[in-house]
Amino acid sequence: MPGVSGFSRAASGPREPGRPAFSQPLTLPVPGRDMMTSESTMRFGPILKRSFYERGSVEVARGLLGKVLVHGETAGIIVETEAYPGGGDLASHSARGVTPRTRVVFGPPGHAYVYLIYGMYECLNLVAEPDGTPGCVLLRALEPVAGLERMRERRPRARRVEDLASGPGRLTLAMGITRAHNGVDVTRGLLVVREPAVARPVEIAVTRRVGIRHCADSPLRFLIAGSPFVSRRTAPETQARPQDL
């Protein structure tokens, strides 16, 4: 599969009963119909700790590229993000202050912020910044690496694997993420972000954010350069040197 990076396959058995999933690398069963490989298992690295998210939103948005979003049997490499720092960023929901909807964004980092747009699409954000400081990162696109058959069932209109999770609404549909996950702690449990089993150099492209009116010129969209899985091909404004993520 073109562009797949940062994961390896192993043949180990299921984890020991009673051991918490967040204390060891994840091993996912991979039926032959469910992956673009005949290997029987796939292994990722450890779950990102809360300290990863307790940084500036821009730093977290860049750092998430190449990491692996996992929800149950499905998983995908994060290839596109957008930072919403809060404060003076009028495109951020937190610019309106603390409301029942945005309370989670002002809370501890490492939690999910899920909301509905256009009355039909749900978007997954990960809360960043220290507790009490608003900020989050929108996950815009994934490169699917596990649970593809399940993703196809959820996204029957997607004709290509590149289209399964190429956009924030498509991403949540493919991964089975809904507003029921709003406020979930992503440092443990079924919805988490993991390190890849093997870190690979990632070249980051930077563009303006997509589909916003306020602060539209801010270069706060980050994507893995050249990935065919991103939501929209946009000419980058700046190109970062390869970074080992």
Contact 106, 130 (CB under 8 A): no
Task: State the Cα–Cα distance between residues 189 and 196, nearest whole angstrom.
Answer: 18
Residue 209: the pLDDT is 83
Could you state, in order of their start, the residue ranges of all structural domains in the chain?
Answer: 47-244
Residue 40: the pLDDT is 33
Contact 245, 202 (CB under 8 A): yes
Task: State the Cα–Cα distance between residues 24 and 112, nearest whole angstrom.
Answer: 22
Fill in the amino acid letter for 242.
P
Task: State the Cα–Cα distance between residues 170 and 75, nearest whole angstrom.
Answer: 14
Residue 138: the pLDDT is 96
Residues in contact with 72: Cβ distance below 8 Å, sequence separation at least 6, in sequence order = 147, 176, 190
CA atoms within a 13 Å half-sphere pointing along the CA-CB vector of 84: 24
Q: Which two tokens stand for residue 211?
A: 């589909």
pLDDT (tens place) for every residue of the chain, 245 residues total: 334 333 333 333 333 333 333 233 333 333 333 333 323 345 899 999 999 999 999 999 999 999 999 999 999 999 999 998 877 775 566 657 677 777 898 899 999 999 988 778 899 999 999 998 889 999 999 999 999 999 999 999 999 999 999 999 999 999 999 999 999 999 999 999 999 988 888 999 999 888 776 667 789 999 999 999 999 765 454 443 333 22
DSSP letters, 165-205, are TBSHHHHHHHHT--GGGTT-BTTSSSEEEE--SS--EEPEE
Residue 92: the pLDDT is 67
Residue 125 CB neighbours (<10 A): 25
**pTM reported for the whole predicted model:** 0.78
CATH code that applies to domain 47-244: 3.10.300.10
DSSP letters, 16-60, are PTTS-GGGS--EEE--GGGSSS--SEEE--PBPPHHHHSS-HHHH
Task: State the Cα–Cα distance between residues 112 and 70, nearest whole angstrom.
Answer: 13
Residue 59: the pLDDT is 97
Residue 126: the pLDDT is 98
Residue carrying structure tokens 């501890």: 108
